[in-house]
A = this chain, B = another copy of it.
Amino acid sequence: MEILFELLRSRGISGDESETKNLILNYIHKRKDAWKVCPDIFSGDELQDCIILKFGKPRTAVFAHIDTIGFMTRYQNQLVAVGGPDFGDSTIVVGEDSLGSIKCTVREVDGNLEHDFPRKTDIGTCLSYYQDIRIDEEFIQAAYLDNRLGVYNCLKLAENLENGWIVFSTYEEHGGGSVPFLLKFIQSNSPIRQALVSDITWITEGVSHHEGVVISVRDRNIPRRSFINKVIGLARESGIPFQLEVEGSGGSDGREIQNSEYAIDWCFIGAAEDNVHSPNEKVSLKDLDSMLKMYQYLMAKL
């Protein structure tokens, strides 16, 4: 799990994912020769800060976004949100500008976000939650489990994957923007008609810790039912614990797959967390385990 800890400690708020990109790319280059199939690796300016891996002859693509929510400094001590951070009273954030390291507290005053760093920061400095990783026998708790766990799931999946695309996307937390060009790339290289979204969802009145990975029937977007039914059928066959989710809100890279120029069915599959978009996101280790197993099973069978 060392790479998971490194991912959790790396900063990569939407639009500023290069540090996280480099971490993932270095890991891939170090490990790929030990994987069952050594993938083709696509990265570089023509893919911005995204990475694409091609294993064998793909039938399905897995998407995991590598960006996180956070904050950006404005004028004086104002902050603007990146994505939808959700925190209690005051919360510690960290970052760096041309004058050095920043560590301070963010709070909401009359609906506006403010920080209390004593000096003026560079306009547009990105600030992330201070990271505090907590693990016990049942749970992992940290900032940014969404979507460091989804990325981790893809890196574990890569070890034994024979056929498939693994796609590391950017901007997901703040309106998206990379999935359209990523899809164009994979569809012109080796087209597929199925996609899975490796991301983290919510504990709700119908989704509990320890009950298995969540297969989402819908969120704000509704994927095609016949594909969802196919995925659920295979999940039943697998014997791996899973739960079904039906939500009216929330989104993922699935939204951009749905709205793309390609007829690609998609399904969101991921562990559920408490304390969404806070520094204290909390996921059951058992659910993470069934997420890892479910992706391996589905990518072989779909």
User: Could you list which residues of chain A lie within 8 angstroms of chain B, going by C-beta atoms?
Assistant: 14-16, 18, 45-49, 72-76, 80-82, 123-124, 126, 170-171, 174-178, 180-181, 183-184, 193, 204-206, 217-218, 220-226, 228, 244, 246-248, 256, 258-263, 265
Nearest B residue to A207 by beta-carbon distance?
A: B75
Most buried by B among A46, A124, A170, A205: A124
Number of copies: 3
User: In the complex, are the beta carbons of A123 and B80 less than 8 A apart?
Assistant: no
Q: Which residues of B contact A123 (CB under 8 A)?
A: 206, 217, 244, 246
Q: Which residues of B contact A223 (CB under 8 A)?
A: 15
10 contacts between A and B (CB under 8 A): A15-B224, A16-B225, A72-B222, A73-B246, A75-B206, A80-B246, A81-B248, A170-B224, A178-B263, A256-B259
> How many Å lie between the Cα of A273 and that of B105 in the bound state?
33
Partner of A221, one of B48, B175, B193: B175
User: In the complex, are the beta carbons of B15 and A259 less than 8 A apart?
Assistant: no
- Closest chain-B Cβ to A109's Cβ sits at a distance in Å of 15
> How many Å lie between the Cα of A224 and that of B247 in the bound state?
31
User: In the complex, are the beta carbons of B181 and A261 less than 8 A apart?
Assistant: yes
Q: Which residues of B contact A18 (CB under 8 A)?
A: 225-226
Q: Which residues of B contact A72 (CB under 8 A)?
A: 217-218, 222, 246
User: In the complex, are the beta carbons of B73 and A193 less than 8 A apart?
Assistant: no
User: In the complex, are the beta carbons of B217 and A75 less than 8 A apart?
Assistant: no
User: In the complex, are the beta carbons of A181 and B246 less than 8 A apart?
Assistant: no
Nearest B residue to A181 by beta-carbon distance?
A: B263
- Closest chain-B Cβ to A257's Cβ sits at a distance in Å of 9
User: In the complex, are the beta carbons of A80 and B258 less than 8 A apart?
Assistant: no
- Known pairs A124-B218, A206-B74; A48 contacts B263 (CB<8 A): yes
> How many Å lie between the Cα of A239 and that of B269 in the bound state?
51
> How many Å lie between the Cα of A45 and that of B265 in the bound state?
10
| New A-B pairs, 20, CB < 8 Å, besides A14-B222, A73-B246, A124-B246 | A15-B222, A16-B224, A18-B225, A18-B226, A47-B263, A75-B204, A75-B246, A76-B206, A80-B247, A82-B222, A123-B244, A123-B246, A124-B217, A175-B258, A178-B263, A180-B260, A181-B260, A181-B261, A181-B262, A181-B263
Partner of A259, one of B170, B180, B184: B180
> How many Å lie between the Cα of A171 and that of B174 in the bound state?
23
Nearest B residue to A244 by beta-carbon distance?
A: B123
> How many Å lie between the Cα of A256 and that of B175 in the bound state?
11
> How many Å lie between the Cα of A76 and that of B260 in the bound state?
34
Q: Which residues of B contact A263 (CB under 8 A)?
A: 45-48, 178, 181
